[in-house]
């Protein structure tokens, strides 16, 4: 480990604490959301509210930190739920969504967070369907894709608007005090 001066060490600790805090927030949102009964009886349709945290971190800090929080959230939530199969769906969906959103944030910038959230939700569904086809080896799983796309647009708009208004009303020194 390279020698670090006191200041960088302090920043690192601060940052780690902050990221842990955001992981807790994401995990709480995820757990509360999973208590809601599913509205439509199709696999993969849900609000995806914990994506607000990912969007939020992508707006304020480096993609690497957001990925860390996302990965921690996915692993912890599936440990608590005790489902190894759902871990694969979450990982595929989460990473597809994350890759698309990171790229779009680079191209478009923070102002377009609602659109980025919509495309993130669509890619999340795409990743999940890909895993479903791989696991069941039945291409007929693609029959769920149109319904998932429509729900992804609706829920993506909602989470995107949440992030948009949060950004507008929350002072940056509270959001990312580094």
Contact segment (CB under 8 A) with other proteins among 3-11, 16-24, 66-74, 145-153 equals 145-153
CA distances from residue 112 to 36, 62, 68, 146 in whole angstroms, order as listed: 29, 17, 23, 24
Contact segment (CB under 8 A) with other proteins among 11-19, 52-60, 94-102, 142-150 equals 142-150
Which is nearer to other proteins, 42 or 170 (by Cβ)?
Answer: 42
Alpha carbons within 13 A on the beta-carbon side of 34:
11
Q: If we measure between CA atoms, which residue out of 145, 146, 164, 168 comes closest to residue 156?
A: 164
Contacts of 174 (CB under 8 A, 6+ apart): none
Is residue 114 part of the contact set for other proteins (CB under 8 A)? Answer: yes
Report the interface residues with other proteins, using CB under 8 A. Answer: 38, 41-43, 81, 83, 85-86, 89, 108, 111-112, 114-115, 118, 122, 132, 135-141, 143-147, 149-150, 153, 164, 168
């Amino acid at each position: 480990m390279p020698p670090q001066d006191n200041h960088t060490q302090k920043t690192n600790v601060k940052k780690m604490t902050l990221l842990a805090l955001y992981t807790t927030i994401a995990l709480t949102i995820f757990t509360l959301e999973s208590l809601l009964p599913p509205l439509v009886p199709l696999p993969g349709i849900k609000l995806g509210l914990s994506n607000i945290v990912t969007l939020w971190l992508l707006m304020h800090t480096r993609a690497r930190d957001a990925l860390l929080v996302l990965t921690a959230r996915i692993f912890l939530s599936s440990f608590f739920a005790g489902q190894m199969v759902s871990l694969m769906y979450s990982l595929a969906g989460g990473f597809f969504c994350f890759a698309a959103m990171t790229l779009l944030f680079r191209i478009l910038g923070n102002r377009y967070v609602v659109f980025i959230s919509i495309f993130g939700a669509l890619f999340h569904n795409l990743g999940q369907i890909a895993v479903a086809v791989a696991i069941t080896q039945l291409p007929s799983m693609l029959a769920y894709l149109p319904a998932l796309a429509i729900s992804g647009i609706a829920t993506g708009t909602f989470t995107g608007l949440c992030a948009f208004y949060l950004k507008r009303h929350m002072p940056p020194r509270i959001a990312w005090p580094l």
